[in-house]
Amino acid sequence: MTAIVSLKDAAFSYGETEIFGGISLDVSAGEIVCILGANGCGKTTLLRCINSSLRLKKGKIYVGEDDIATLSVDKVALKIGFVFQEHSAPFPFSVLEVVRMGRAPHMKILATPSKKDTAIAEESLALVGMLHLKNKPYTQISGGERQLILIARTLAQNPEVILMDEPTSHLDFRNQTIILQMICKLAEKGIAVIMTSHLPDHALLYSSRVALMKDGGFLAVGKPDEVMTEESLKNIYGIEVKMVTVNDPNSHGTIKIVLPMKELTNHNKN
Amino acid sequence: MSKKKLVLLVILPLIVFFVSLFWGRYPIAPLDVFRILISKIIPIQHTWPSTMETIIMSVRLPRALLAMLVGAGLSISGASFQGIFSNPLVSPDILGVTSAAGFGAAVAILCSFNSTLIQTSAFAFGLLGVGLSYMISRVYKTTPILMLVLSGVIVASLFGALTSATKYLADPELKLRDITFWLMGSMASASWKDVFRVFIPIVVGMSGLLMLRWRLNLLSMGDEEARSLGVRTERLKGIIIVCTTLITAASVCVAGVIGWIGLVIPHVARMIVGPDHKVLLPTSIAIGACYLLIIDDIARTATTTEIPLGILTAVIGAPFFAYLLRKTKGGWK
């Protein structure tokens, strides 16, 4: 399958400080690529470069046929959606209004949303199961709901690629799972998803491929089973971990989960 | 927005406008006001003294129109700025337009310029002040919100100090008094000339903002997010800053410094129609026009001498705002 997004030897630096370099990656439609790495390894910066919020210092990023550096902001928004982390709104817009904002790249600059835009927004809300909230103020819903609303907004944008920066952080166990299931649903619709995650288990359970990132470079990219080993995880997080294989209650196969080792948490005991 | 609210927002300014024409120290019956206005369109028999006509046509009408223009302009500017700064505490003078225009006027008064030159100087300095703020805040081809706010603080305090210096130099018997009065805001000398002068910048600015009003929703979510939704944030912010600056500089140059409206009216509008800028901006125009017109009516009729507008907008606006704040417990945000 041809790649929707491809990064060719991408590098970025703030002034003299290189944030990442030598990054190459191809992502196809329907794939979920999860970027794992310690805080500050450059994951978010990488996403912002793919979104063309930040310009690469070296290398290229292609979306379909186009070099992203040559696309204007509105053209990029037609192809790439971004779900932001820790989101809040300054004004209590209704949920529907927030989702309708996703239609912006499809609208003329002086236009206001049409009936069709509203219909698309409602459709997207229905898809994430949040249509009942459409008239609620966005500032008065829970974190999990907000994340789903943002996904709905990105769906209304109708992009080929969705970037997500730690979509499950700050969410409780149930909401983390709901969001991840939703991400799988997006991939089934043929959208390429590139997300960062703070939890290796999420990558093991839900992603089609994993990129392990350390010090601004990819250590390995591949199927979660293949690249996520005790060794490689120890390398990127700097802690001892154990991979445990358990029976998958959903199928007859097995799944792996990652456990941090107790000894390393000893210094926290008191 | 419900039909009822819509009708009210169109009719209310018209009623206030009409009341302002017959309300005053020189009593004129509503019917006479109506006749005088009609006589300008279709020739009817003059049954009223010519003083009455002069008062309506040369004093109250331009003054009322000016008050509405300025009130509407300051309110829509405030609502727009609150949108682009993603902050409901912002007022139109956040980039220093008022202080700079105030200094422009003060210097012109000090130099004994005529009223046209005073207005021109105020307008020009207003634009200059905002231009300065914008330039200071620009880093890496972007203008981050925090940089804009801080640059505005710098420019405002600089021109504030320069205005103080001008006052210090001014002759306390005449010019200091003029400068002080000018800075407190007034419509007392409003004429058709003023209306025509500010009509174009205010209407151009308002039209620009109205056309872009839905995009303000996007911008209020923050620059990065707006960009991810396809908004060319720098260009859009630039256009909005130009529009609001035209409006505020024009307002300040004819009416002096009138604070408070640009901060409070958008809040009141938001309480009535919600935060969506698509309806918030037109609503701010309607309420702002009514509010300043009512304030100006009080300014010219409450006592035998004119009360400066800047005092009234705050004296009436502050308790009103406090009441709303208590009643809604800040719930409208």
- Please report the DSSP string for B26-77 in residue order: S---HHHHHHHHHHTTS-----S-HHHHHIIIIIIHHHHHHHHHHHHHHHHH
Question: Which of B217, B224, B332 is the closest to A97 by Cβ?
Answer: B217
* Average pLDDT over chain A, rounded to an integer: 89
Does residue B326 sit at the A interface (CB-CB below 8 Å)? no
Inside any domain, residue B237: yes
Per-residue confidence at A257, pLDDT binned at 50, 70, 90?
confident
Does residue A78 sit at the B interface (CB-CB below 8 Å)? yes
Cβ distance A93 to B217 less than 8 Å, yes or no, reads yes
| Contact residues, chain B, for A102 at CB < 8 Å | 229
Instruction: Give pLDDT, residue A210.
Output: 94
pLDDT tens, A65-104? 899 999 999 999 999 999 988 777 788 999 999 999 999 9
| Contact residues, chain B, for A82 at CB < 8 Å | 225, 228
| Contact residues, chain B, for A157 at CB < 8 Å | 229
> What Cα–Cα distance (Å) separates residue A21 from each residue in A7, A25, A75?
11, 12, 26
Does residue A89 sit at the B interface (CB-CB below 8 Å)? yes
Cβ distance B228 to A74 less than 8 Å, yes or no, reads no
Residue B59: which CATH number?
Answer: 1.10.3470.10
With H, G, I as helix, E, B as strand and everything else as coil, classify residue A215: coil
Q: Where are the alpha helices (DSSP H) in chain B?
A: 3-22, 30-39, 50-54, 61-84, 97-110, 115-137, 145-169, 175-184, 192-211, 213-220, 223-228, 233-255, 261-273, 277-301, 309-328
Does residue A72 sit at the B interface (CB-CB below 8 Å)? yes
Query: Which B residues 65-124 touch A at CB under 8 Å?
Result: 83, 86-88
Cβ distance B225 to A94 less than 8 Å, yes or no, reads no
CATH 3.20.10.10 fits A3-228, yes or no: no
Does residue A166 sit at the B interface (CB-CB below 8 Å)? no
Inside any domain, residue B27: yes
For residue A87 the two structure tokens come to 């989101």
Domain ranges of chain A: 3-228
pLDDT tens, A189-245? 999 999 999 889 999 888 999 999 998 899 999 999 889 999 999 999 888 888 888
Cβ distance B230 to A97 less than 8 Å, yes or no, reads no
How many Å apart are CA B216 and CA A263, to the nearest integer? 53
Inside any domain, residue B333: no
How many Å apart are CA A231 and CA A253, to the nearest integer? 24
> What Cα–Cα distance (Å) separates residue A33 from each residue in A5, A68, A165, A204?
11, 19, 12, 11
pLDDT tens, A157-166? 999 999 999 9
For residue B126 the two structure tokens come to 């207003």
Inside any domain, residue B274: yes
Nearest by Cα to A199 from A67, A38, A3? A38
With H, G, I as helix, E, B as strand and everything else as coil, classify residue A52: coil
Does residue A140 sit at the B interface (CB-CB below 8 Å)? no
Q: Which residue in B82, B212, B223, B228 has the most chain A C-beta atoms within 10 A of its own C-beta, making it the best mutation to test that interface?
A: B228
How many Å apart are CA B78 and CA B247, to the nearest integer? 10
> What Cα–Cα distance (Å) separates residue B241 from each residue in A104, B144, B206, B238?
21, 13, 12, 5
Instruction: Give pLDDT, residue B16.
Output: 94
Question: Which of B211, B212, B275 is the closest to A91 by Cβ?
Answer: B275
pLDDT tens, A28-61? 999 999 999 988 888 999 999 999 888 999 999 9
Query: Which B residues 208-237 touch A at CB under 8 Å?
Result: 211-215, 217-218, 220-221, 224-225, 227-233
Cβ distance A110 to B212 less than 8 Å, yes or no, reads yes
Does residue A112 sit at the B interface (CB-CB below 8 Å)? yes
Does residue A24 sit at the B interface (CB-CB below 8 Å)? no
Q: How many domains does chain B have?
A: 1
Cβ distance A104 to B333 less than 8 Å, yes or no, reads no
Instruction: Give pLDDT, residue A3.
Output: 87
For residue B216 the two structure tokens come to 């303000």
Instruction: Give pLDDT, residue B140.
Output: 72
| Contact residues, chain A, for B87 at CB < 8 Å | 90
Q: Nearest chain A Cα to B212, which residue? A: A110
Task: Calculate how close chain B gets to A68, using CA atoms only, in Å.
Answer: 13
Inside any domain, residue B73: yes
Instruction: Give pLDDT, residue A263.
Output: 66
Cβ distance B276 to A93 less than 8 Å, yes or no, reads yes
Does residue A110 sit at the B interface (CB-CB below 8 Å)? yes
Q: Nearest chain A Cα to B209, which residue? A: A110
Inside any domain, residue B185: yes
Q: Hunting for tokens 């409450």 — which residue is that? A: B302
pTM for the whole thing?
A: 0.89
Exposure class string for B202-228: b at 16+ Cβ within 10 A, else e: bbebbebbbbbbbbbbbbbbbbebbbb
Which domain does B98 fall in, by range?
3-328
Task: Calculate how close chain A gets to B57, using CA atoms only, in Å.
Answer: 38
Reading chain B (333 residues) residue by residue, the pLDDT tens digits are 678 888 888 999 999 999 999 888 888 888 888 888 888 888 888 888 888 888 889 999 999 999 999 999 999 999 999 999 988 888 898 999 999 999 999 999 999 899 889 999 999 999 999 999 999 998 877 788 888 999 999 999 999 999 999 999 998 888 898 898 888 888 888 899 999 999 999 999 999 999 999 999 999 998 889 999 999 999 999 999 999 999 999 999 999 888 889 988 998 898 889 999 999 999 999 999 999 999 999 999 988 888 888 889 888 888 887 887 787 665 544
Please, are residues B243 and B209 in contact by the beta-carbon 8 Å criterion?
yes
